[in-house]
Amino acid sequence: MKKIGLQILSFVVATLLLPSALSAQSNDEALYKSLSESAARLTASEDSLSVLLSRARQLYAEADDDGKAAQAEVILDLESKIFSLHSSIDDVAAQLRKLEQKGITASVDNTQTPQVAEPEIADDRIFNSSGGADRTILVENKYFADNLPADVYSSLLEAQAAEKSVDNYLQIIRHQYERMIGLDSQFYQATSAKAALSILNDYNRLDQINAQISDSIAAKQQYIIDTKSYAYTFILDKEGKSVMMEDFSRLITDARVEEDEVSDLSYSRSVALIPVRKKLILSMERDMAEALSIAPALDSLTRTLRTLAPGEYMLPPIVGPQVAEGVEYADAVKGTTSIYSSRNPIPEAIIPEVGTVYRLLVGSYTQRQAINIFRNASPLSVERKSDKRYYYYVGDYPNFASATAAVDSLRAMGFRQPRVVVWNNGEYTLEPTEEVAMHSTPTLPEQQKVVEEQQPASSTQRPTATTTATNTTIRHRIEIVGAGSTLSEEVRNAIRSAAPGKEISRIVDGATGQTIFAVGTFPEKADAEKVAEAIKSADGSLSTNIIELGK
């Protein structure tokens, strides 16, 4: 990793070697030569970075979970640098073309940067004639090299290469998404604040990387669409194919409508939009391949369109660990002396309006107590409630398991009856018997979700929070019992396949403390029954119940 970092630095330095005083050159030929050398230098840097990128992708495939996260950051960094290099190369190439148009090439070795005349489409060319060499990838056919300006064709090839980056990014997101599901479960099982916070840091780090990758996916896909649609429209315009140009315009408009209809209830909206944008790109390329009679590309594109499955890209949202901002979680410890004094009094307990914190109640008193009665324990906090009594707490815990495990530690310190208490979104519970944060699942209002599920696929209307469901008053939810604290990947895959886009949430039975997973809702009971059957097929040990809501 360190070696790759040094190599990246050396190439960044190389990219900064653009001529800074070219405007001061009085001789156009010297300027042309300097620009040519810069173009060669930048191209060499790009080639070298591409080698590093290939190596980083290989290391990602071979790495363990922690290594994959690190390599994902390297891949993002390398691709960002390559993208910046492309911009610099384009700028230099534009300056070279301006000089070439003035005829400033006479005394320069043109073998280094050969001139490419902008080709024109012959008037007698038949548009649906053979598109050149038989290639499965459409843009690799000779037709495009012959009938597009050199810079446009170069951009078209770059856009094609960018599609591989999107697929690579998607692989990284999916892997880290699965790790986050596991970390979410581990967080609630951790028996110390330190362990829980370590898990939380890993979870947040993966989530932040995925957010960056999601942004890159959105940017790259838009770049691919813009570049390819421009190149194909360029040819259509030259050939006078106005009908196909109108068809392409409709495809783009329809794609925008489809994007608006994609549910926001997914882990990554950029990932959820991938199939819509892929469908647009593939449809344009299929039509071009058909018009140019490029059979291998046409067959490949048609097959890919048929196998495009939008449901595979709808990753259910993960609620994630529900912690509170402003609370410094820490396990209770006993020191040789107290850290509190008249100059450093026991602080007021922070009551978070959003998030969860568990503490151990060690006593309530009508008056403030002397610090020495708390056996040098820390962290301590105090709260004066509406009954005018002072309540003293030890520790700040992010989950129920760690707070419960700390009870024995406090008894060993000499506290007679420490009691677990919790604040969740500002609400206080004395002696909770469950992980209350698991109830905090941020979703759209139930009524709105029903309207979204009933919305016709072709409609462009977006539901709002004030929309009401008038046609259906009964909805159905599947409840899964017996899975423990987490669902297996086989069951999750079965749900995604049988009910694409449906939310999986986790709740806890307040009476029994049992974890229950809920799927849905479904307007029709028959649809819920089909999904329940798929769940049972994936894991016969689970029990499923279909609950009617909204009677």
| Distance (Å, whole) CA 476 – CA 4 | 53
| Distance (Å, whole) CA 435 – CA 422 | 10
Q: Please state which of the ranges 17-31, 58-72, 145-159, 492-506 shows the lowest mean pLDDT.
A: 17-31
Kindly give, in sequence order, each residue whose CB lies less than 8 Å from that of residue 479, ignoring residues fewer than 6 positions away: 516, 517, 518, 544, 545, 546, 547
- Mean pLDDT across the stretch 399-410? 94
198 pLDDT higher than 90: yes
440-549 topology per CATH: Alpha-Beta Plaits (3.30.70)
Q: Which residues, listed in sequence order, are joined to residue 124 by a DSSP beta bridge?
A: none
| Distance (Å, whole) CA 60 – CA 208 | 18
Give yes or no for a cis peptide into 275 (omega within 30° of 0): no
- Express each pLDDT in 260-285 by its tens digit: 888 788 899 999 999 999 999 999 99
| Residue with more model confidence, 319 or 520 | 319
26 pLDDT higher than 70: no
Roughly how many angstroms between the first and final C-alpha of the chain, as a whole number? 59
- Mean pLDDT across the stretch 112-125? 35
How many Cα atoms are found within 13 Å in the side-chain-facing hemisphere of 383?
18
Residue for token pair 């029903």: 450
Q: Which one-letter DSSP state was computed for residue 371?
A: G
pLDDT at 477: 82
pLDDT at 32: 66
- Mean pLDDT across the stretch 67-88? 71
pLDDT at 551: 42
Q: How confident is the model at residue 99 (pLDDT cuts 50, 70, 90)?
A: low
**Are 4 and 74 contacting, i.e. CB atoms less than 8 angstroms apart?**
yes
- Express each pLDDT in 328-340 by its tens digit: 999 999 999 999 9
Domain boundaries, the chain: 1-115, 122-321, 333-433, 440-549
- Express each pLDDT in 437-446 by its tens digit: 765 544 333 3
pLDDT at 48: 64
- Express each pLDDT in 122-139 by its tens digit: 322 334 344 445 568 898
pLDDT at 361: 96
The token duo for 222 is 């838009």
Residue for token pair 């990128």: 53
Short-list 295, 169, 162, 292, CA closest to 228 = 162
- Mean pLDDT across the stretch 386-405? 95
Above pLDDT 90, what percent of the chain? 40
Above pLDDT 70, what percent of the chain? 71
- What's the whole-number average pLDDT of the chain? 78
Q: How confident is the model at residue 462 (pLDDT cuts 50, 70, 90)?
A: very low
